[in-house]
Structure 1
């Protein structure tokens, strides 16, 4: 920090020290800052320019000399076969790099035309221009070779888009070198060659002469030769690079050419420019989508969520999974599926190189949507921005300065300065971004696609956090993708669906390979090799299949040869860490344990002595790979970045990874048994990755049991889904079938408590019915039919539920089980109530209460989680109230309240209190309803039962409005309705909306109340829930005269 402050003081900009320190900027990363970064930090235009001048000077001082001497302490020795000289190599490592060679056109003639000092200035300006652009694109300037510049992309750290960044840098060099203004007004031009391949990075030493970070291999030679092929102003790339570019650039094939120094002709491609692309996935797809195999359940869920969002109930879907698993492909499927429908699509792409740049994906989307061009004037860019903003707001002039400031477009001459503190500007900008979105949503539904949230910057995540909270009442679907390891803060919130994608099974994998291959003939043995090696990851399947087809990896006799790992996957899997010889084996082990791990666990798993392990860990800490908390031996370690962990893990062979996870699981079980018992999901995760499927399944089940005991229903469902996924990997046999039945039965209760009426409930029951019908007894089959009936009932599908009730009755007669008969009577009474047949309902509940006996309680509990004695009494009391029998209702309420007071099960208490609150509401007893609903809401909130929490909020909101707290009451009621709808249930929506209309009536907001009534009347034909029809008519009759007054 001291060095940073001194540097800022030298520029008279010390007032920005605190701001830079807050963003963890120090001298080590200062030279990597761009003007866009400074703008995002709120640095005004003038100071930005001053700071950038200082940064350029700093970069020039840091620029490496191409050749320098060094005293090399104790280097390793290798013999040079050609010369017999001894060369010394202090460090070396194998890397896949994209190498860029840029050369200044006509430098010899330039030297003749200029004096030496002017020529030096020209070369220096050229070098500085190239090095700035390379650094801006996170490349590494390796050498200046006279008028040539050699840059690496993929070293010292690799990224997944090294080739793309190399080509983008080449195009920028061509553009910016042509714009350089020399004192003698001499025009300059460059040409660029780029190639990708495996190289050896090494320090070359001869005596006291050293070339740092030199690259050895064919690739640097090819890049240099392609630069010679390139005409002035051209970027030429090798075929190896072209295959990594996808559809991001406009490329023309110039043919296979003989290149000096290479035996075989080389592919030569001309890059004409960059294409507009909304996401990394779209850019890499080359205009062709990979066939979408499987994912039927996920597609159904996405379509349903879009339909719900389009109807005005905003939704959030989070899609997670490992790299290449198909997250983005699933999003593209939804985009194609809804293409015929009128909607807006907003696409945002997070970047691994800009996770510290505030609102980076927002800025990129705005610039692309507005059509901002590099050659556009300031006023043209402001005009384009205003045109874009006009789509979402009528107050363009007020918000345009905020957006221009965000995009670093000078705006003061048109709008005046923003005379506010940076935090105030940031807050206003975020609110303006949200209002722009909701302005668009007011015109037509909006699909928002946010890609790669594991790279999101904190400011964008903060913006998303607000959006998730506000999305409920708008026709917006927010679709986010991220890799495993990123902990999305919204999982578990109402209206948020998390889809964790798993790998394809061998059958699906083979299907995908065959569809990609199409007419390409691949022998069976080679197909099997692709399926086995890729282990169900769609991207790996695609890339390996294409590689086989392109390279015809067959031996002379037609037998399959080894499938080589394609360059595209090497780039994806390249380690983001220095190859530290002593840590080479330890880093993948750390990654396999997890993002964080204890020192004691690592010692036990690694089997290294503490004396050997501690220096390695200290070296990893010093190399910025690990962070340490605490002191040995109680220390814990965390990967500094999740991407480092992921990259380190993915460099391992699958077989080694499985063995490591197996050992980690065994160590947990034998040496950390208390942890394994308390957190079985940790062991389960390792067993899953170890391929010990049956053990993994059983551990996931244990984790679910613990979560259920803690009322952690969401976690229980997640663990059971994992257990089911593991079970599906086992060979089909009676044991697997029995396990699936048990897991799905266990899942029924927590999934219902997470949100009734959801698609997952129906899918689970449908599969259970298939299994029970084939393998189960009649009692188990009854349970499934009863569950299906309950799902239909909660969804308001009365006729479908009645059909299930008839099946229950028939099966009840067949089994002769009194519990079956009681539940059938109970269900029919509920259906009668919901249909508005109150006398039938009262009689049915009477028959149920008469039949209830303690000896049946355990059998009933197998099928029904609430206490039927409480439910029957409160529902009968409501039916009596709606029939006008207040005395009978009061008696039943008293009985129910006595039982609720004795009830230890929280769910039955929540159920009973919420219904009694609704009865008090129906009677107009607002204060009593408010007290009961508040108590029910508190319990439901604590127990995480969103269905009853939402219902209680509806009643609570009505009661608050009726007792004078109008604004808060209406807000609570509407939030409750939205939350109820997000559970997937529809049963009580007519009731809740009638309460909303009545609340508007009480608040004097007649037109709002009439709008709700009109919506109810429009939906009346499709509505099968009729119990509150009379009240709806009463409210409507009260509203219409008031509207005409």
Structure 2
């Protein structure tokens, strides 16, 4: 070999060597060339390995001698062409020699059109075309065939991808050449024919379009006995009419997917024995793997590495892997096996990358001969289907099957109650009751996976007083191409046969069964013959591809008659589960059974997916199961996990599961197990295979779904187009494909009238998203964030949380922190505090991940301030969460806070403290401290808030005149159209001013202020409106004004129903119960009890008010003892929270209660009334004073009468006696008697 020349060994196609321009063909049937080819592909190889492969039957000395001779010939005959490096232990090609196989594999990994075209040019034909080792070299023959199959599979996928890129680039010559090359490898490849049809249409040659279609039709008819699919037929019709062809699907991209790996090898200790055993067993192992839906893309050392869920995902991949492993161990006594499930990367060249192979091999090391060991990841997926024994270190020995055929039978715990299916259950029950009366028929239950079809059947069957004879046929995804497989499995169970029973045993067993039921069994046996056919050898029963000699409908009718006779006089129920997985012959058989419906009391119940189109009679009655509604979803989720989920978690279940019961159950368990609540909840591992299989039905349009999923559950067509690498026509065609497949649906847009599309299920969107590689996700999110800010600014302003989410996912943390804060502020102004807190949690995660610094403290303070305000809007004034946030904010103010931020923190702290204790405090964040800060700030807004805080403090202390003064001060500034986060000081001051005026005897003024406050609040935020309405309604309660409460309540209830405002929700419940009690409804007391308990948790300072309402409800119902018990608790609350505002009213109600309980002991009531009057007199609370004094005057003497007169005089001097119902209706005039208010 001359210096500078490049030597190349070309093994794709007929083998040859190239040296510069010189090409030399190489033989391929002798050991000399085959040894050269082996080391060329595998690289440096040990002499021992070559001895085992090329001279397996020779003694060691003879084998070594033969190897030396072959190497000598190689060096002398081909050394000038293909130089070798021969060492004492190994043999390799000399440096500088290249091999086309290696270049093909490297270029195949690329996504660039030029690289793929180059790889396509390298593939001249099958690996070592027309070369096979001499007889007897079985291991070498296997190696050759494995590489040939592997490289051809890669080539097929390569040509598909290269063709898609060439067509997208409109490179017509390259496009046509690649399509023709692809058809050489796969003559029935529809996409290649479609590409050529589009190529001919682009040239205006419709005759060539039709000819290309006929070419495919002929191939399919001759080779596969089928015809082109409906999509290609539609394309032919479109192109022959001269219409523009639809765009080709976008090229695929690397994908992340969970697979289950099965590794099988020989447990023999001797390496030579292991190699021999494994080589002889590989064919049988591979057959078993493929039978259960797995594939063996490549052998792995001396073992077999099989994949389940590849190349296409499938439901139950882990279960299929375990079933295949157990079947292999039955026939291979020396074998040991391991299974492991994990995430791999599937390259565009369909190469599998990741740690799963290494892990499953490590798991294998713990297995002995005849044993299957599973990782914990796989064990969790097959739990309930297989019995496993713990081995330690997260490994499990698979013992045997439990016999479970579906999720319902595989449950390890009792199922939750059947929720939300009463109508469907009743309809099904009517069919079964009709069967009991001798009426047959057929019913198909349709619903998507996990909607509860089997569960509904089981639940209704369990309630029947008399069960019919029940037979069950279960169809399986693993055997949907196997003729009659579900029925054959059913016959095995019916006759007590093992699956491996031979044809003679089957015939004898069936003949005995039929002979007991028929006088002339021969004709029946002939009709049932297809269910007896078997095949010899390794292949399972029922996999014949030949057409049954007896029509399937005739077989079905015979089977139905057989089962009906076996049932005798009892009705027969035939359950057919998962018919969407049945083969065509089984469907025809079921049609035969359906055609007999009504002849005898036989009911056939079939379960199917919604997209199943039966070959049976379209007149079959259907029962469609829809997803559950939100309330039923919440109830089911709570029942599954014993009620441990809070409202936020239940909201997530509703959002992520869309009411599909299986999704609900698994998601609820995942949350109950402690998974964090976040923007991306993730997919329960038990649903991963199901969802992966669903999205891969999109085929080559999956990339559109993946990119759309990056946008979120809902996405705008225009935004998808903006970030897409494809043209508008391709994007629109992809959206249509997603719509037709039922993955997405259209919904009403907003803002800029953009077309909005929504994934029908959040978990399907999540599955499409997670199938992207992390690097592709990050790239997509960066593009989305950029497009939102630059091309759709209105959307970005309206939804800063969208921008924040995409920025965070793209790794742009600083910008994301800013947008999460914006999103939280916007949510608060929309009265959505729960949403705001969710945004703040996301942003704070990013803030706290940064290195400690003053900048980080600054950002954290910004977040804590908004977080504290969010708790205020939510009504969690006194919660531990709010206190912790505000304490942290106060701490940060000490280092990075400015005076207005200190004021904001103190404002929030004041809310919490006043809510926990009410009234004034000499310590903590009191209103006086706020006023001091506000004076220093010289800001009207701060002064307004400080005066409102003092009005609040003094009110709860029972100093109503002082409270009124500060409320008027706060109201002296005009309402702020953009009030601070938290309570609106102008509105809140008005609410307390109305109460102050009432206590001070100015009822008309109180009503007027309350009405003004409500009118202004209606122009503000929903929480402002709810607050003002609640205060007005509670004012009505204080005044005993039923009309006021009744007028306020509907609007208040509507407001709190639309927005989650727990404090005002409790107020609405209290007002409603108060009205009910006034009208004699005894249930009112029961309704009020949870409200009181809730206020004690959320806002302890107001619990006294709710207790007073509860006590009055007891009084209105004549339950004085109940009222006294509640009032005793209120007295404790007064002392605990240092409140005095309702002390007089509490003591008066004690007197009313004592009069009910001890009517013959008025002195006890009189004592309470006098105490109430004394408190009210000291507070100058004129209405409570009048009420208490009037009661005391009725029971007491002249002193009490004088006190009553003093109260009246005070009202005349400072109040509005003419407006007081207490005087105008005579209810508090002692001369006319009294009645409890």
Normalised by the length of structure 2, the TM-score is 0.44
Residue of 849, 854, 859 corresponding to 2:968: 849
The residue that corresponds to 2:260 in the other structure is 97
Counterparts of 1:307-318 in structure 2, within 5 Å, are none
Q: Equivalents in 2 of 1:571, 1:832: separation in Å? A: 63
Once the two structures are TM-superposed, the CA of residue 659 in structure 1 deviates from its matched residue by 1.4
1:734/1:161 CA distance change after superposition, 3 Å: farther
Residue of 887, 902, 907 corresponding to 1:781: 902
Once the two structures are TM-superposed, the CA of residue 995 in structure 1 deviates from its matched residue by 1.0
1:253/1:867 CA distance change after superposition, 3 Å: closer
Q: CA RMSD in A?
A: 6.5
8 Å Cα contact 2:657-2:762 kept in structure 1: no
1:865/1:237 CA distance change after superposition, 3 Å: closer
The residue that corresponds to 1:337 in the other structure is none
3-state secondary structure, aligned to 1:919: helix
Once the two structures are TM-superposed, the CA of residue 690 in structure 1 deviates from its matched residue by 0.8
Number of residue equivalences: 671
1:935/1:799 CA distance change after superposition, 3 Å: same
1:723-776 residue CA offsets vs partner (Å, 9 max, x unmatched): 444444455555554444444444444442222324443333223212222222
1:99/1:499 CA distance change after superposition, 3 Å: closer
The residue that corresponds to 1:229 in the other structure is 369
Once the two structures are TM-superposed, the CA of residue 661 in structure 1 deviates from its matched residue by 0.9
8 Å Cα contact 2:318-2:341 kept in structure 1: no
8 Å Cα contact 1:100-1:150 kept in structure 2: yes
Residue of 631, 634, 637 corresponding to 1:465: 634
Q: Work out which of the two has the higher radius of gyration on C-alpha atoms and give 1 or 2.
A: 2
3-state secondary structure, aligned to 1:271: strand
The answer to which of 788-797 and 799-808 deviates more is 799-808
The residue that corresponds to 2:389 in the other structure is 251
The residue that corresponds to 1:154 in the other structure is 309
1:161/1:879 CA distance change after superposition, 3 Å: farther
Once the two structures are TM-superposed, the CA of residue 851 in structure 1 deviates from its matched residue by 7.7
The residue that corresponds to 1:754 in the other structure is 874
1:269/1:499 CA distance change after superposition, 3 Å: closer
The answer to which of 665-674 and 872-881 deviates more is 872-881
8 Å Cα contact 1:194-1:237 kept in structure 2: yes
8 Å Cα contact 1:254-1:270 kept in structure 2: no
Counterparts of 1:891-1040 in structure 2, within 5 Å, are 891-895=1005-1009, 897-898=1011-1012, 901=1015, 904-905=1019-1020, 910-938=1026-1054, 945-962=1061-1078, 964=1079, 966=1081, 973=1088, 976-977=1091-1092, 980=1095, 984-1005=1098-1119, 1009=1123, 1012-1013=1126-1127, 1016=1130, 1022-1039=1136-1153
1:824-844 residue CA offsets vs partner (Å, 9 max, x unmatched): 554344334324xx2x34224
1:306-335 residue CA offsets vs partner (Å, 9 max, x unmatched): xxxxxxxxxxxxxxxxxxxxxxxxxxxxxx
1:672/1:809 CA distance change after superposition, 3 Å: closer
Q: Equivalents in 2 of 1:618, 1:833: separation in Å? A: 64
The residue that corresponds to 2:726 in the other structure is 608
Q: Equivalents in 2 of 1:666, 1:819: separation in Å? A: 38
1:912/1:250 CA distance change after superposition, 3 Å: closer
Counterparts of 1:790-939 in structure 2, within 5 Å, are 790-796=911-917, 802-805=923-926, 807-808=929-930, 811=933, 823-824=945-946, 826-835=948-957, 838=958, 840-846=959-965, 849=968, 853-854=972-973, 862=980, 865-868=983-986, 871-872=988-989, 874-875=991-992, 878-879=995-996, 881-882=998-999, 885-886=1000-1001, 888-895=1002-1009, 897-898=1011-1012, 901=1015, 904-905=1019-1020, 910-938=1026-1054
1:900/1:499 CA distance change after superposition, 3 Å: farther
8 Å Cα contact 1:140-1:152 kept in structure 2: no
1:775-805 residue CA offsets vs partner (Å, 9 max, x unmatched): 2233431331222011121233657785321
Q: Equivalents in 1 of 2:849, 2:345: separation in Å? A: 42
8 Å Cα contact 1:693-1:730 kept in structure 2: no
Normalised by the length of structure 1, the TM-score is 0.51
3-state secondary structure, aligned to 1:993: helix
Q: Equivalents in 2 of 1:363, 1:936: separation in Å? A: 42
1:271/1:987 CA distance change after superposition, 3 Å: same
Q: Equivalents in 1 of 2:707, 2:377: separation in Å? A: 32
Q: Equivalents in 2 of 1:240, 1:499: separation in Å? A: 19
8 Å Cα contact 2:683-2:763 kept in structure 1: no
1:620/1:458 CA distance change after superposition, 3 Å: closer
1:981/1:753 CA distance change after superposition, 3 Å: farther
8 Å Cα contact 1:195-1:219 kept in structure 2: no
Once the two structures are TM-superposed, the CA of residue 934 in structure 1 deviates from its matched residue by 4.6
1:584/1:860 CA distance change after superposition, 3 Å: closer
The residue that corresponds to 1:195 in the other structure is 339
1:250/1:778 CA distance change after superposition, 3 Å: same
The residue that corresponds to 2:398 in the other structure is 271
Residue of 702, 705, 709 corresponding to 1:591: 709
Q: Equivalents in 2 of 1:1008, 1:158: separation in Å? A: 65
1:4-44 residue CA offsets vs partner (Å, 9 max, x unmatched): xxxxxxxxxxxxxxxxxxxxxxxxxxxxxxxxxxxxxxxxx
3-state secondary structure, aligned to 1:195: strand
1:166-222 residue CA offsets vs partner (Å, 9 max, x unmatched): 558989999xx9xxxxxxxxxxx99995434899999xxxxxxxxxxxxx9999999
The residue that corresponds to 1:668 in the other structure is 788
The residue that corresponds to 1:486 in the other structure is 656
Q: Equivalents in 2 of 1:974, 1:575: separation in Å? A: 50
Q: Equivalents in 1 of 2:777, 2:875: separation in Å? A: 37
Counterparts of 1:130-529 in structure 2, within 5 Å, are 140=293, 153-155=308-310, 158=313, 163=318, 166-167=321-322, 193-196=337-340, 229-230=369-370, 236-237=372-373, 250-251=388-389, 270-272=397-399, 363-364=414-415, 406=459, 412=465, 458=627, 463-466=632-635, 480=649, 486=656, 501=676
Between the two structures, name the one with larger relative contact order (CA 8 Å, sep ≥ 6): 1
Q: Equivalents in 2 of 1:582, 1:749: separation in Å? A: 49
Q: Equivalents in 1 of 2:639, 2:381: separation in Å? A: 38
Q: Equivalents in 2 of 1:468, 1:1005: separation in Å? A: 39
Q: Equivalents in 1 of 2:686, 2:124: separation in Å? A: 33
Once the two structures are TM-superposed, the CA of residue 689 in structure 1 deviates from its matched residue by 0.8
The residue that corresponds to 2:506 in the other structure is none
